[in-house]
């Protein structure tokens, strides 16, 4: 199994180094892993003059899974847009056809105070948002700004989903639910938008293929409300690109600790790009204080979704739970009564717990 590691920029190299330690332990314990590294984003621009150079592209296409730190930094903000680090990220997602974005929002009981919501509402929260990433109103044609027949300027976009696009994200979501609590909530606005009425019809039809998963439907406005009112009612949520964009950010903030949240973007064969939900945090880069746990938990997602190795995924997640239970905290999740550690010490603690 080939894993390509893309450290990226800012805190990327520091946090990815900790995740790499975890991969090395799994390898030493018999997991058949081949690890390679390549630059992406600003680091790739510095070395090759492009944020997604051919060197990286070739290795990314050959890899079974990719682990990314994060890209971006203020020194690159004045570059022409096509050369900016974030373009490298968009380019690799498009190049590899990564249409399914999986973002878990998990609140470990030890971190319940980090949330802005009452501990009893969020403690033990464990939900997964599955967002379609390459369709919907973000990509639908026609789009633009024009002058209408009355001579007034207007902006317009097209919300559009083909049946095949709905089915392929549906399969990812139903199968993710099978690996978890077997509950899937499909979020739509079927009372107003035909595109999502169609979405609902296809999801309902697909449920026949997954009799072990309990499918429900919810309107997006209600879903936004329920996520803050009673988020623990959800197991897996599946939705389109625009609703998923908003709901996944809302869900991640329920936990209050951005340094803890992994994510996955998958293609049709479950090849995946795994990365923390946060950015490159240039403000704390190079200080050995970043939280590496989101990146380490991204490794667990890789084991679960690309390598189908649930036991190894849980081994990594249990190691993270163990260090939290031991009271170890990086600065971003530190509170009185716990022990503050740096980025590499946190990585070492996870390795010890493994």
Residue appearing with tokens 């296409």: 61
Could you say whether residue 324 binds ligand NAD (CB under 6 A)? Answer: no
Minimum separation from the CB atom of position 320 to ligand NAD (A): 14
Cα dihedral value 250, 255, 259, 265, nearest 10: -50
Q: Which of 169, 284, 300, 354 binds ligand NAD (CB under 6 A)?
A: 284
Considering the complex, state which of residue 166 and residue 302 has its C-beta at the smaller distance from ligand NAD: 302
Establish if 281 lies at the interface with ligand NAD (CB under 6 A).
yes
The answer to whether residue 86 forms part of the interface with ligand NAD (CB under 6 A) is: yes
221 is catalytic: yes
Is 274 a catalytic site residue?
no
Residues 241 and 131: beta-carbon distance below 8 Å: yes
Which of 275, 301, 349, 354 is the binder for ligand NAD (CB under 6 A)?
275
**How many whole angstroms separate alpha carbon 302 and alpha carbon 65?**
7
241 binds ligand NAD (CB under 6 A): no
The yes or no reply on residue 259 touching ligand NAD (CB under 6 A) is yes
User: Any contact of residue 347 with ligand NAD (CB under 6 A)?
Assistant: no
List CB contacts of 218: < 8 A, sequence separation 6 or more: 185, 186, 187, 188, 226
By CB under 6 A, what part of segment 6-45 binds ligand NAD? 11, 15
* 89 scored as a contact of ligand NAD (CB under 6 A): yes
Cα separation, 183 vs 61, in Å, equals 33
Pull the structure tokens for residue 290: 């970043």
- Least separation, in Å, of the C-beta of 278 and ligand NAD? 3
Residue 33 phi/psi, 5-degree rounding, is -120, 140
One-character DSSP codes across 235-257:
SEEEE-HHHHHHHHHHHHHHS--
Catalytic residue among 48, 126, 138, 183: 138
In the residue annotation, 249 being an active-site residue is answered as yes
Q: Which of 64, 126, 245, 288 is catalytic?
A: 245
Please identify which residue in 4, 6, 16, 70 interacts with ligand NAD, judged by CB under 6 A. Answer: 70
Question: Closer CB to ligand NAD, residue 134 or residue 280?
Answer: 280
Quote the CA–CA distance of 10 and 88 in Å, as a whole number. 15
Nearer to ligand NAD, 11 or 190 (CB): 11
| Catalytic residue list contains 245 | yes
Would you tell me how many other CB atoms lie within 10 Å of the CB of residue 248? 24
Close Cβ partners of 67 (under 8 Å, ≥ 6 residues apart): 3, 4, 5, 6, 16, 19, 23, 274, 275, 295, 298, 299, 302
Catalytic-labelled residue, pool 94, 95, 221, 287: 221
Distance CA 155, CA 250 (A): 27
Q: Give catalytic residues, as residue numbers.
A: 138, 189, 221, 245, 249
Contact footprint for ligand NAD (CB under 6 A)? 11, 15, 70-73, 86, 89, 258-259, 275, 278-284, 290-291, 294, 332
């Amino acid at each position: 199994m080939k894993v390509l590691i893309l450290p990226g920029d800012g805190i990327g190299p520091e946090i990815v180094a900790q995740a790499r330690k975890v991969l090395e332990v799994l390898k030493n314990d018999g997991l058949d892993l081949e690890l390679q590294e390549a630059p992406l984003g600003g680091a790739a621009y510095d070395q090759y003059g492009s944020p997604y150079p051919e060197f990286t592209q070739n290795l990314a296409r050959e890899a079974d899974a990719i682990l990314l730190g994060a890209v971006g930094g203020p020194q690159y903000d004045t570059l022409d847009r096509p050369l900016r680090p974030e373009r490298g990220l968009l380019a690799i997602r498009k190049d590899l056809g990564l249409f399914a974005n999986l973002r878990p929002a998990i609140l470990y009981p030890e971190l319940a105070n980090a949330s802005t919501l009452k501990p009893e509402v969020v403690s033990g929260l464990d939900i997964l948002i599955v967002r379609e990433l390459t369709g919907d109103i973000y990509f639908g044609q026609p789009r633009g700004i024009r002058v209408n027949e009355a001579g007034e300027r207007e902006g317009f976009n097209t919300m559009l989903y083909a049946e095949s696009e709905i089915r392929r994200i549906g399969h990812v979501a139903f199968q993710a639910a099978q690996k978890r609590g077997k509950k899937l909530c499909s979020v739509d606005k079927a009372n107003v938008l035909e595109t999502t009425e169609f979405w609902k019809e296809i999801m309902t039809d697909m449920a026949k293929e997954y009799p072990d998963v309990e499918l429900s439907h919810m309107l997006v406005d209600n879903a936004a409300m329920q996520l803050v009112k009673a988020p623990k009612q959800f197991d897996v949520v599946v939705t389109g690109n625009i609703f998923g964009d908003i709901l996944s950010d809302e869900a991640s903030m329920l936990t209050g600790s951005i340094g803890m949240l992994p994510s996955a973007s998958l293609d049709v064969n479950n090849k995946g790009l795994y990365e923390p939900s946060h950015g490159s945090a240039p403000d704390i880069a190079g200080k050995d204080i970043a939280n590496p746990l989101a990146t380490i938990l991204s490794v667990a997602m890789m084991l679960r979704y690309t390598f189908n190795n649930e036991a190894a995924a849980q081994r990594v997640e249990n190691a993270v739970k163990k260090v939290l239970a031991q009271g170890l905290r990086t600065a971003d999740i530190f509170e009185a009564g716990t022990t503050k550690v740096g980025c590499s010490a946190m990585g070492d603690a996870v390795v010890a717990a493994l």
